[in-house]
Amino acid sequence: MKESTNPKSEQLDHSTTDNTDQALTTNQGLKINNDQDSLKAGERGPSLLEDFILREKITHFDHERIPERIVHARGSGAHGVFKINKSLSKYTKAKFLAEEGKETPVFVRFSTVAGSAGSTDLARDVRGFAVKFYTEEGNYDLVGNNIPVFFIQDAIKFPDLVHAVKPEPDNAIPQAASAHDTFWDFISLMPESMHMIMWAMSDRAIPRSYRMMEGFGVHTFKFINEGGKMHFVKFHFKPKLGVHSVAWDEATKISGKDSDFHRRDLWEAIENGAFPEWDFGVQIIPEEDEHKFDFDLLDPTKLVPEEEVPVELVGTLTLNRNPDNFFAETEQIAFHPGHLVPGIDFTNDPLLQGRLFSYTDTQLSRLGSPNFHEIPINKSINTVHNNQRDGHMRQQIMKGKVSYEPNSMGGGCPFQAMMKDGGFASQEERVDGKKIRARSQSFVDHYSQAKLFYNSQSGPEKTHLQNALIFELSKVTIPAIRERVVGQLNFINKDLAAAVAKKVGVHVTVLEQPNGSIPADADPKSLQSPEKEPYTKSSDALSMKNTVKDTIKSRIIGFIIEDGVHAQDVNTLKSKLENEGAVVQIISGSLAAVKADDGTAFEPKHSLTSTASVCFDALYIGSGKQSTQNLMNEDNKPGTLLFINEAYKHCKAIYFGKETEDIYNASNVKHKKHEDPAIIISDQNDSDALFMKAVAQHRVWELEKARNNPA
């Protein structure tokens, strides 16, 4: 064969690509006209299987990394039980929800989203909250988050979102962080993300514990009852301990002191018998009320305010057993929103529709076989009967010649189940629309619920959210990106935008129309610019100020003591705290036994140098003049004061025992009686009870500014 003399052929090189000034294409070189919307049967219709662009994009994304999960790689899990306390048979024929008192085994996995498996638990991030119900009708997976909405409206943008938040591809920096150019570049061009940004920059993104965060199904699903009647439903898990967070300064320090903080907290709570519990609730919306809201129920960037549709608490989720092997269970568990049982069905939410394809594809890549359902943690409690055969790592041994349907040689078995016998059938729904790649007009308003969330926050929560935005945008090196984000913030709250703009060095610009994927014919009124009448709606359910604050169960209390401490005071307070479910841990100058004034010994769990105040919910400074002198000697004084000053800065409860005046006076604590309810002095009446009440309050965030700037 004659060698080619075509110079272009000789120079052809597919190994490097420069995307500058190039049109977007598929992997086959086909130019893409619309990369914002999946192909649907009508604007609000279901996504179509023929959408080869969506499938190619998500397939490639699903297979980017093995074996670790691409997102939600850093996780922890536990076994437990779900109990239905009030029958939902009026709304759904799902058996595990229909019989009052019925218990269903579960496995729950919590996770961060952006970081790798080796990243810190305390990153500012969304947290996954995924529940596998092992029901008698098959496995049901409720794969949600600790935030009720999401960044994007259509699954076709999910690879772009994750690529933007992941470490930048040229230098693999930063790990488990959204504070960088590519993430905020994407966000600045996607106004639909602004509601989620309010949540992600709030304290919800740095929870105190997996046990103290909410869980949400995110999407709107369907309930179908025995009569075929359909209702829309939103799923909620509300922690019995309340929703609590840490301060950002704490989060950064915890990452250095104990990057496994959440994983350790969950494990130790279960080992100690302080089983985490959540109330399970539903928001039920009749089919005929689908369009009564000022937002679209199918829009995953929107929530249903609890003031409009109250959450009905109908069940309890309890985690009561740690895994026997982390990899075999927590790492190999495979969730999929398409794992359903009769009585629960999908809506046409375009983000949910894409997830239904993506999850199975991801498990094939990560677990290496279509038989991932045979891994013990994934197995249904029902015996599986079907005609699927072979495949890598097959475990189940099927007898007989027949592996097809219909058949006569096997007596027609396994046979199709009738609906009355529990056979699953999708809800009959009319689908009538043009085949279209577009966004529904009902998805256009991107700012009202972002305003709702911001308006609902308490003063300290607003301050924390503002500071989070300032921190994140200060890491963005391109001024134009910072300007675009501030422009988006201006559509939410002009004071917030101005405060952020001042700190990140940009001018507040009121955009004529936000950048991003908004239909060209969108109604300008829906953009709700700052010049319009202020948006004043709020919701108490969206602020952590209104969460549970009446328990000290499982709170970690640090007792800082040294030789000579008054044993009776220590033992009395310790017993009171432990009787209420708190956990007391002794901290001293070293790990040597502490000799008390009566000759007894206390064994420290930590030394002043091996841990930090950020790992505790509250502090008690042990009583006794000799103990005080030892804590204030040359070796221990720096550590003692650092503990107290940091706990004070982070608005925690601190209890100064008898004869600790020298420590108190040397610290930054400036206590005025009745003005700082979390600073307890032993000479106050019923000081033990006051301390326990202060711990139950979690923090005194309202005094944060005063505590950070002591007079």
3-state secondary structure 650-705: CCCEEEECCCCHHHHHHCCCCCCCCCCCCEEECCCCCHHHHHHHHHHCCCCHHHHH
What is the spatial distance between Cα 647 and Cα 617, in angstroms, rounded to a whole number? 8
Q: What crossing angle do the helices spanning 479-490 and 181-188 adopt, rounded to 10°?
A: 40
| Residue 216, both tokens | 């949400």
- DSSP letter at 11? H
What is the spatial distance between Cα 523 and Cα 444, in angstroms, rounded to a whole number? 8
CB-based contacts of 415: which residues, under 8 Å, 6+ apart?
none
Contact 654, 604 (CB under 8 A): no
What is each CA distance from 17 to 14, 21, 169, 561, 696, in whole angstroms?
7, 12, 14, 63, 58
Instruction: Please confirm whether the linkage preceding 167 is cis (ω < 30° from 0).
Output: no
Which candidate in 79, 139, 145, 650 is catalytic?
A: 145
| Residue 431, both tokens | 């689908």
- Counting every residue written for the chain, the total comes to 711
Maximal CA-CA distance, the chain: 101
| Residue 541, both tokens | 């359910």
Q: Which residue blocks in 350-509 are alpha helix, DSSP H? A: 350-367, 448-456, 459-474, 479-490, 494-504
- Of 557, 556, 583, 85, nearest to 318 (Cα)? 85
Which candidate in 14, 19, 27, 72 is catalytic?
A: 72
The residue with tokens 């086909």 is: 30
What is the spatial distance between Cα 630 and Cα 105, in angstroms, rounded to a whole number? 51
Amino acid at 379: K
- Of 115, 140, 138, 137, nearest to 128 (Cα)? 115
What is the spatial distance between Cα 646 and Cα 614, in angstroms, rounded to a whole number? 8
Distance of CA 40 to the CA centre of its chain: 29
What is the spatial distance between Cα 535 and Cα 416, in angstroms, rounded to a whole number? 54
Distance of CA 298 to the CA centre of its chain: 21
| Residue 337, both tokens | 């929103």
Instruction: Please confirm whether the linkage preceding 191 is cis (ω < 30° from 0).
Output: no
Contact 393, 371 (CB under 8 A): yes
What is the spatial distance between Cα 647 and Cα 362, in angstroms, rounded to a whole number? 43
The residues with which 207 forms a beta bridge, in sequence order, are 245
- DSSP letter at 31? B
What is the spatial distance between Cα 12 and Cα 106, in angstroms, rounded to a whole number? 55
Distance of CA 588 to the CA centre of its chain: 35
Distance of CA 80 to the CA centre of its chain: 19
What is each CA distance from 210 to 215, 248, 320, 601, in whole angstroms?
10, 17, 14, 34
The residues with which 272 forms a beta bridge, in sequence order, are none
3-state secondary structure 561-614: CCCCCCHHHHHHHHHHHHHCCCEEEEEECCCCCEECCCCCEECCCEECCCCCHH
Q: Is 72 a catalytic residue?
A: yes
Amino acid at 544: M
243: left (phi over 0), alpha (psi -120 to 50) or beta: beta
For residue 252, the SS3 value is: helix
Q: Which residues are annotated as catalytic?
A: 72, 145
